Chains A and B, each alone.
Chain A
Amino acid sequence: MGTVRVVLVDDDTGRLALLDRAMTQAGHQVVGKLDPADDLIAAVDRLLPDIVLIDVDNPSRDTLESLGQISRDRPRPIVLFAQQSDPDTIRRAMAAGVSAYVVDGMSPARLAPVIEVAIARFRDYQSLREELNSTKLKLADRRDVERAKGLLMKRKGLDENAAYEALRRMAMDRNIKLGEIARSLIAAADLL
Chain B
Amino acid sequence: MTKLKLGLLPLADAAPLYVARECGYFAGQGLDVSLSVEASWAGLRDKLAAGMLDAAQLLSPMPLAAHLGIDRLGVPIETALTLSRNGNSITVSNALFARLDNPAPEPVAAGAALKRVIEADRAAGRPKRVFAHVFPFSTHHYLLRDWLLASGIDPDRDVKLVVVPPPLTLKALREGRIDGYCVGAPWGYAAEHEGVGRRLLATHTIRPGCAEKVLGVTRSWAMRHPEPHLALVAALIEAGRWLEQPGNRVDAGQMLVEARLIAAPESCVRDALRDDRDDLLSPQFVFGAGEMLSPHHDDARWFLEQMRRCGQNRERIDVEDAVIASYRLGTHGEANVMATSVMVPLMQ
Contacts and interface: CB of A to CB of B under 8 A. Distances in A.
Interface in A32-82: 37, 39, 41, 56-66, 68-69, 71-73, 79-80
Contacts of A56: 43, 46
B73 A62 contact: no
Interface stretch (A13-21, A83-91, A112-120, A153-161): A83-91
A58 B162 CA distance: 17
A169 B74 CA distance: 53
A65 B40 CA distance: 10
A63 B112 CA distance: 29
A37 B42 contact: no
A61 B43 contact: yes
B97 interface: no
Interface stretch (B15-23, B100-108, B165-173): B165-173
Contacts of A90: 46, 50
Interface string B200-233: 0000000000000000000000000000000000
A111 interface: no
Contact of B165 (A39, A63, A68, A87): A63
A94 interface: yes
A58 B311 contact: no
A71 B39 CA distance: 26
Contacts of B74: 84
Contact of B40 (A61, A73, A79, A84): A61
Interface string B139-170: 00000000000000000100010111111100
B171 A57 contact: no
Nearest to A83: B72
B156 A69 contact: no
Contacts of B38: 57
A60 B46 contact: no
Interface string A124-154: 0000000000000000000000000000000
B189 to A, nearest CB: 19
Interface in B42-89: 42-43, 46-47, 50, 52, 69, 72-74
Given A62-B165, A66-B136, A71-B311, A94 B72 contact: no
A41 B43 contact: no
B312 A57 contact: no
B281 interface: no
Contacts, number: 76
Contacts of B52: 94
A63 B136 CA distance: 9
Nearest to A91: B50
B285 interface: no
A96 B42 CA distance: 16
A91 B48 CA distance: 11
A100 to B, nearest CB: 11
Nearest to A57: B39
B165 A59 contact: yes
Contacts of A68: 72
B41 interface: yes
A94 B40 contact: no
Contacts of B168: 37, 59-60
A56 B49 CA distance: 14
Contacts of B304: none
B50 A94 contact: yes
Contacts of A91: 50
B193 interface: no
Nearest to B162: A41
Contact of A60 (B47, B73, B165): B165
Contacts of A60: 40, 165, 168
B46 A94 contact: yes
B50 A62 contact: no
Contacts of B72: 68, 79-80, 83-84
B85 to A, nearest CB: 22
B163 A99 contact: no
A79 B160 CA distance: 21
Contacts of A73: 160
Contacts of A84: 69, 72-74
B187 interface: no
Interface of B: 38-43, 46-47, 50, 52, 69, 72-74, 134-136, 156, 160, 162-168, 171, 177, 311-312
- Please provide the 6 A-B residue pairs with the shortest distance between their CB atoms, ordered closest to farther: A59-B165, A66-B163, A69-B136, A61-B40, A61-B42, A65-B42
Given A57-B39, A59-B166, A84-B74, 12 more contacts: A41-B162, A59-B40, A59-B165, A59-B167, A62-B42, A62-B135, A63-B163, A64-B42, A80-B42, A83-B72, A84-B69, A99-B43
9 contacts: A37-B171, A59-B167, A61-B39, A65-B41, A65-B135, A65-B136, A79-B72, A84-B74, A94-B52
